[in-house]
Amino acid sequence: AKEPVRVLVTGAAGQIGYALVPMVARGIMLGPDQPVILHMLDIPPAAEALNGVKMELVDAAFPLLKGVVATTDVVEACTGVNIAVMVGGFPRKEGMERKDVMSKNVSIYKSQASALEKHAAANCKVLVVANPANTNALILKEFAPSIPEKNITCLTRLDHNRALGQISERLNVQVSDVKNVIIWGNHSSTQYPDVCHATVKTPSGEKPARELVANDEWVNGEFISTVQQRGAAIIKARKLSSALSAASSACDHIRDWVLGTPEGTWVSMGVYSDGSYNVPAGLIYSFPVTCRNGEWTIVQGLSIDAFSRKKLDLTAEELTDEKALAYSCLS
Ligand code: NDP
């Protein structure tokens, strides 16, 4: 039998956490034959709720779940973890300045970075979900210098999946027949959902999605804004944010990273930029990646037209500003 993998979920008593932990315990993140031990962290005001989640995990009698650690102690939470999914963060409240939210999250991610660096298993893979996800991941990287930068990522897979979903709805095809959209940049409203290289499986072979849609106005307009604004649309409809799809996409992100992407398919991940596609190095930026043997590689050589170039640069500028703001909170 396989050794259990220890999976940390921070903010585990929150909405996304509540949707995510049963998926992990059912093998949706790491596969149906991989036992797991869940480490759940939350803050003291959420301790009682967190204990309730732990009780439900016991009650659900998940065969793959070999243990549950539910704690408000960051060191206990991080000890020995192989995968860390960082969902906890300080929410933006009405009347708060951007800088205040940033400052709260910078201090959270700074302290969690140190705990992960000292206590996580060697080669721990980190996924940051909490907003501002890219910049929280960057702060985590800065304060965990011994964790390889390739192990620190942020979630843009939900945006990626939303883009696949929009194309499938538009063309009335199965979502599993659509692939290779790209989310570039920040997990924010400046992200660029790009269909220029996406394809659709049809009875007469694989076709470019753009050609099948045959409507550049939609591709360059409504499609982009629908994906960018989808989170807000869900809040409006549900009066709550998109927890189910965020949790499911976090599982997709880790599963593909650990187990590999299918041949000929790429996915979007927020990763440490090496300057590919003239994106400034040193930002956590969402790129198209393929994964194999537990490592991601940025897909190279895709053509970028003038429209796309502007969009790639715009979201990079926002990330550069966020980085500067985050650093100003440190001093
Ligand atoms: P959620 O579980 O709904 O969201 C958690 C984080 O994920 C937020 O930062 C949220 O950003 C972000 N996020 C990223 N993508 C999405 C998406 N597609 N849809 C929704 N959210 C997304 O928040 P809750 O408030 O229910 O839970 C947060 C938990 O974190 C609580 O249990 C709380 O106690 C804990 N917490 C931990 C802290 C710490 O570790 N020190 C500090 C503060 C809270 P956004 O805010 O933009 O929606």
Q: What is the pLDDT of residues 213-235, one digit of tens each?
A: 999 999 999 999 999 999 999 99
Cα separation, 28 vs 274, in Å, equals 31
Distance (Å) from CA 89 to ligand 1 centroid: 5
Contacts with 132 (C-beta within 8 Å, 6 or more apart), sequence order: 101, 102, 105, 186, 187, 188, 322
Handedness of CA 244, 250, 254, 255 (dihedral sign): positive
ipTM value for the complex: 0.92
Cα separation, 276 vs 29, in Å, equals 29
The torsion angle over the Cα atoms of residues 268, 273, 277 and 280, rounded to 10 degrees, is 130
- Ligand 1: residue of 42, 87, 156, 229 to mutate (most ligand atoms within 8 A of CB) is 87
Report the atom number in ligand 1 closest to the C-alpha of 92: 46
Contacts with 10 (C-beta within 8 Å, 6 or more apart), sequence order: 17, 41, 42, 77, 84, 85, 86, 87, 88, 112, 130
3-state secondary structure of 137: helix
**pLDDT score of 180:** 98
Query: Is the CB of residue 14 below 6 angstroms from any atom belonging to ligand 1?
Result: yes
Q: Residue 267 CB: number of other CB atoms within 10 A? A: 28
Query: Is the CB of residue 89 below 6 angstroms from any atom belonging to ligand 1?
Result: yes
130 is in an annotated binding site: yes
3-state secondary structure of 123: coil
**pLDDT score of 39:** 98
Structure tokens at 158: 């939900």
**pLDDT score of 213:** 96
Cα separation, 83 vs 146, in Å, equals 16
Report the atom number in ligand 1 closest to the C-alpha of 46: 34
Report the candidate in 285, 316, 310, 308 with the shortest Cα–Cα distance to residue 196: 308
Cα separation, 102 vs 34, in Å, equals 36
Handedness of CA 236, 156, 35, 108 (dihedral sign): negative
Active site residue ranges: 187
The percentage of residues in the chain with a pLDDT greater than 70, rounded to a whole number, is: 100
**pLDDT score of 140:** 97
Query: Is the CB of residue 130 below 6 angstroms from any atom belonging to ligand 1?
Result: yes
**pLDDT score of 93:** 81
Report the candidate in 197, 216, 188, 170 with the shortest Cα–Cα distance to residue 267: 197
- Ligand 1: residue of 116, 129, 183 to mutate (most ligand atoms within 8 A of CB) is 129
Query: Is the CB of residue 17 below 6 angstroms from any atom belonging to ligand 1?
Result: yes
13 is in an annotated binding site: yes
Residue pair 253/269 in contact (Cβ under 8 Å)? The answer is yes
Instruction: Label residue 1 by pLDDT band (50, 70, 90).
Output: confident
**pLDDT score of 130:** 96
Distance (Å) from CA 174 to ligand 1 centroid: 31
Nearest residue (CA) to ligand 1, atom 37: 88
Instruction: Label residue 98 by pLDDT band (50, 70, 90).
Output: confident
185 is in an annotated binding site: no
> How far is the CA of 153 from the CAs of 47, 100, 174, 266, in angstroms?
27, 24, 29, 16
Query: Is the CB of residue 90 below 6 angstroms from any atom belonging to ligand 1?
Result: yes
Q: What is the average per-residue pLDDT within 23-52?
A: 98
| Residue 240 DSSP class | S
Average pLDDT for the chain? 96
Report the atom number in ligand 1 closest to the C-alpha of 242: 19
Query: Is the CB of residue 270 below 6 angstroms from any atom belonging to ligand 1?
Result: no
Q: What is the average per-residue pLDDT within 28-48?
A: 98
Instruction: Label residue 99 by pLDDT band (50, 70, 90).
Output: confident
247 membership: H or E segment, kind and range: helix 243-259
Tens of pLDDT, residue by residue over 257-279, are 999 999 999 999 999 999 999 99
Residue pair 196/307 in contact (Cβ under 8 Å)? The answer is no
Strand partners, 8: 39, 84
**pLDDT score of 76:** 98
Query: Is the CB of residue 298 below 6 angstroms from any atom belonging to ligand 1?
Result: no
Cα separation, 218 vs 279, in Å, equals 26
pTM above 0.90, yes or no: yes
Residue pair 116/77 in contact (Cβ under 8 Å)? The answer is no
Q: Report the first-to-last Cα separation within the chain, whole angstroms.
A: 49
**pLDDT score of 80:** 98
**pLDDT score of 328:** 93
Cα separation, 58 vs 61, in Å, equals 6
Report the candidate in 182, 186, 184, 188 with the shortest Cα–Cα distance to residue 164: 182
Query: Is the CB of residue 70 below 6 angstroms from any atom belonging to ligand 1?
Result: no
16 is in an annotated binding site: yes
**pLDDT score of 96:** 82
**pLDDT score of 326:** 95
205 is in an annotated binding site: no
Residue pair 44/12 in contact (Cβ under 8 Å)? The answer is no
**pLDDT score of 286:** 98
Report the atom number in ligand 1 closest to the C-alpha of 245: 18
**pLDDT score of 212:** 97
Report the atom number in ligand 1 closest to the C-alpha of 104: 42
Distance (Å) from CA 87 to ligand 1 centroid: 6
